[in-house]
Structure 1
């Protein structure tokens, strides 16, 4: 059985990807809020999103990296795709889509900022040792930056307890996924193939939701714009998951968790632009704090070599 060994990537190269993935995911939440508030079921939207993104990436994989299709049939990749998809895609996405029907997009993205701190705690527990304090300091600086961005933010909402609970549980599952991906991701695998496996496994799992009455129909109100929003959501999802797996080859779960900070900043900015939600003048200063914290947390980071089977 052939084995693949990973090679270390320069840690500095992770920072642009952290920013880009966070921005894409923030845009994902804003698009989802627009769609679900216009009458599409969160479950149905989730199915369209992962199916559309998964099929698009599968087509690209088949055309450009046909030899990597075989990895989708490997048992480790199949198990990884299913578990990673449930923890990191299905559960947090569905929770967020239900929450966004009642919870302001800005408030929701603020809750996402808990993900890096939760990831630090879960990673320390899983490894049975406390991670370096330098990394915790970087996370706290980033959290301070987000706090500055959201200072005096109007967080009043009429959302009920269940909606707020769904929003609060989302960063917890994201933290679990960050640690699981770090420990279980098949090393050396094509990031595109892992993204395809993760998305299509969830599309198959949730396919029955399209059988619900009116499950595959768009609301009559402005269907053309909703079609465009769903297509954009699929495209953003496809790109963000490819970059997610590439980023995990360059940093660990704690480093990746800082994506949540840029999810918050982009969510606040896009929420202000599209939904006229409030934004504060200290926003630019918070960005500087985020980059400082991210540089400190990811400095001198080394990822151990791992080996995985490349075939059945």
Structure 2
């Protein structure tokens, strides 16, 4: 239990740090598409190296799953990450962490729609609680949003929606012959391959300098953190299960708020505090209820 909790906190801390790192990179000359490319390519290379033994003799059989890798790469990395990087210079890093981590609140309604879950009143209450938290953030009186800020807020909501759609797709169509590391390696590789022509056509490629500049080190740091995060993710899921892992959203949110305060001096207004409490409560209601049902099953 202690080891699982330690991994949960460490993973949440690693991923929660990514929002402030992204905002720093975006505000120091790195184009969103260029940053997205490095954050797909770096972890992809790391995971391919880690899974190289598993790929030996299976490459042709694995490549037949390229449509799965392509769809998960688009829904799980290419679209949500690129969208998040475009929004990051325009939103507080802490608030971006809150918004992106409402994925469980979107997954449940979508799972109901696709008949992957049964109706549960408590979990619906959690979803409504999360919607209320988002609405509080968007209230003009909160002082958080102006007209342009409001549009970036709506744009940021596309990221958790894409993640949620990816979760539903994986639940329905994940190949039983592939383990999680191989699926992630394929997904990240597909995303990086998709970004190559887009980055080229838009002139968004960011070339690392020699000697490395400060922002170059930031990019390499995020690549290292993301790669480590994927390895920890699979260890945690294997050790404690996917539902326990879903609680990482709360740790990520709190970490994002912490770094937003430390690095960018972002302060929590009373409205933001209420909104964050509503959203954290919502995530807890949705995920804890699911965990209890799995234990019963």
TM-score range, shorter chain: 0.7 to 0.9
2:15 corresponds to 1:25 = yes
Q: How high is the TM-score relative to the length of structure 2?
A: 0.76
Give 5+ residue unaligned stretches, structure 1.
Answer: 1-9, 305-312
* 1:1-312 → structure 2 map (5 Å cutoff): 19-62=9-52, 66-71=53-58, 73=60, 74-75=62-63, 77-127=65-115, 130-136=118-124, 155-156=144-145, 159-160=148-149, 162-187=151-176, 189-211=178-200, 213=203, 215-217=205-207, 224-244=213-233, 250-251=241-242, 258-279=247-268, 293=285, 294-301=287-294
Q: How high is the TM-score relative to the length of structure 1?
A: 0.73
Whether contact under 8 Å (1:84, 1:181) holds in the other structure is yes
Whether contact under 8 Å (2:16, 2:251) holds in the other structure is yes
State the Cα deviation string for residues 198-230 of structure 1 (Å, max 9, x = none). Answer: 11111111112453547233599x962111110
- Partner Cα distance (2:296, 2:215) in 1: 42
Alignment CA distance shift 1:288-1:103 (3 Å): closer
Alignment CA distance shift 1:145-1:165 (3 Å): closer
- Partner Cα distance (1:71, 1:262) in 2: 37
Alignment CA distance shift 1:185-1:247 (3 Å): farther
Structure 1 residues 79-88 or 66-75, which shifts more? 66-75
> Shift of residue 290 of structure 1?
7.9
Whether contact under 8 Å (1:137, 1:297) holds in the other structure is no
State the Cα deviation string for residues 245-265 of structure 1 (Å, max 9, x = none). Answer: 56666336xx76554433322
Whether contact under 8 Å (2:105, 2:126) holds in the other structure is no
> By percentage of residues, which structure has more helix?
2
- Partner Cα distance (1:112, 1:31) in 2: 15
- Partner Cα distance (1:243, 1:26) in 2: 14
- Give the 3-state SS of the residue equivalent to 2:90 in structure 1: coil
State the Cα deviation string for residues 259-310 of structure 1 (Å, max 9, x = none). Answer: 4433322211111111111147979x95995896444431241699xxxxxx
Alignment CA distance shift 1:230-1:244 (3 Å): same
- Partner Cα distance (1:76, 1:256) in 2: 30
Give 5+ residue unaligned stretches, structure 2.
Answer: none
